[in-house]
Structure 1
Amino acid sequence: MNQTSSPRIAIISSSWHRDIVHNSTQAALAELQRQGVAPEQVSHIEVPGAFEIPLHAQRLARSGRFDAIIACGLIVNGGIYRHEFVTTAVIDGLMRVQLDTDVPVFSAVLTPRDFHEHEEHLRFFREHFVKKGTEVAQACLQTLRSLQALPPHEG
């Protein structure tokens, strides 16, 4: 990313609990646009669940087409398996992608301790995901600016 161009950003979102996750994706897109990122500079990819996000992030980062990647998802305790394992795999995978590729990766993959599919929780998480989408977009742009101010990376 140079000083005059709009950063190229990929947003990967999971379709599991789309009614909630969609709010973070849309809020991130709105905040990026509000801060001057041209809509055509942002690509959105939807994957089935959070577990699929790190591989997609890795492929996008290695493509050389993106300055940053934002991940949006919701991992809940479904009672069948330990959601902590999925959470750890996703977050560790995203960290590995950014360290291995030198492309910053941001997570709005949320993992609430308690999530119940009743209207009060659904309403809370829909609203909370708007806040998190805005925050992750802000963190993305702030980080891109701070990285740009560092000495060039010697690959």
Structure 2
Amino acid sequence: MNQMLQEAEVSELKNSPETPDRPVVPTHPRFTKPQRIAFVQASWHREVVEECRIAFLGEIEARGIARAQVDLFEVPGSFEIPLHAQLLAKTRRYTAIVAAGLVVDGGIYRHEFVADTVIKALMDVQLRTEVPVFSAVLTPQQFHESAVHVEFFRKHFVIKGVEVAEACASTLHSLERLRGQVAAGIV
């Protein structure tokens, strides 16, 4: 009888709201060499784009790259990101560069032209320097300065920050393995 009471108490504790289930913390592979990342952010629509940076920093740290290993740079707009990315890549100080910006209608350029130009230039930087460059430069079809749109894109940039951190960490792991295989003559 006493054992049945103890079992009932244990069962109650397990189902009690006072002992919430803790989420399983994912484990990520460790890097064999130190990583250093440059994060280049456009200041245009800063209140939206900074959500990407904040989410990126949280996720990249969860993946084994300390916040202190990420250098932050801010440029006026997305159009200025590629030149900064190129100069940063040429320093050989960074194992990756991440770009974040929001390109919207307005000004003398069409937003599709700016976004396309920025993405092509970032691809060119990574192919020329062999430093991976990741883009969270987004071009919404419709963006209005309304509170609803700003809030929607703030939330969207949080998602993009996590996604770009995942892509960055996965690519850096893949390149680390590949470069090790090349150095060992396996590939």
Residue 74 in 1 paired to residue 78 in 2?
A: no
Moved more, 76-85 or 111-120: 76-85
Q: Name the CA distance, whole Å, in 2 between partners of 1:79 and 1:104.
A: 30
Q: In the alignment, which residue of structure 1 is the partner of 2:27?
A: none
What are the equivalent positions in structure 2 for 1:30-49 lying under 5 Å apart? 30-49=58-77
Q: Which residue is equivalent to 1:96?
A: 124
Equivalent pair of 1:115/1:121 in contact (CA under 8 Å): yes
Normalised by the size of structure 1, how large is the TM-score? 0.93
Cα distance in 2 for partners of 1:133, 1:3 equals: 20
Q: How high is the sequence identity, in percent, across the aligned residues?
A: 57
For 1:103-144, what per-residue CA distance to the aligned partner results, in whole angstroms no more than 9, with x for missing partners?
A: 000000001111111111111000000000010011000011
Contact 1:6 / 1:36 at 8 angstroms: preserved in 2?
no
Q: Secondary structure at the match of 2:80?
A: helix
**Structure 1 residue ranges without an equivalent (≥5):** none
1:27 maps to what in 2? Answer: 55
2:160 is the alignment partner of 1:126: no
Q: Which has the higher contact order (CA 8 A, sep 6+)?
A: 1
Number of aligned residue pairs: 152
Moved more, 11-20 or 143-152: 143-152
Name the residue aligned to 1:110.
Answer: 138
- 1: CA distance between counterparts of 2:34 and 2:129? 20
* Cα separation, 2, equivalents of 1:5 and 1:90: 30
Task: Report runs of 4+ in structure 1 exceeding 4 Å deviation.
Answer: none
Q: Kindly state the Cα deviation for residue 80 of structure 1 after the two structures are TM-superposed.
A: 4.5
Structure ID, larger Rg: 2
Give the C-alpha shift of residue 81 in structure 1: 3.1
Alignment RMSD (CA, Å): 1.5
Query: How many angstroms apart in 1 are the aligned matches of 2:64 and 2:115?
Result: 32
**Contact 2:31 / 2:173 at 8 angstroms: preserved in 1?**
no
List runs of 5+ in structure 2 lacking aligned partners: 1-29
2:93 — aligned with what? 65
Match of 1:123, SS state, is helix
Contact 1:23 1:133 in 2 (8 A): yes
Secondary structure of the corresponding residue to residue 12 of structure 1: strand
The aligned residue for residue 7 of structure 1 is 35
| C-alpha distance in 1 between matches for 2:96 and 2:107 | 34
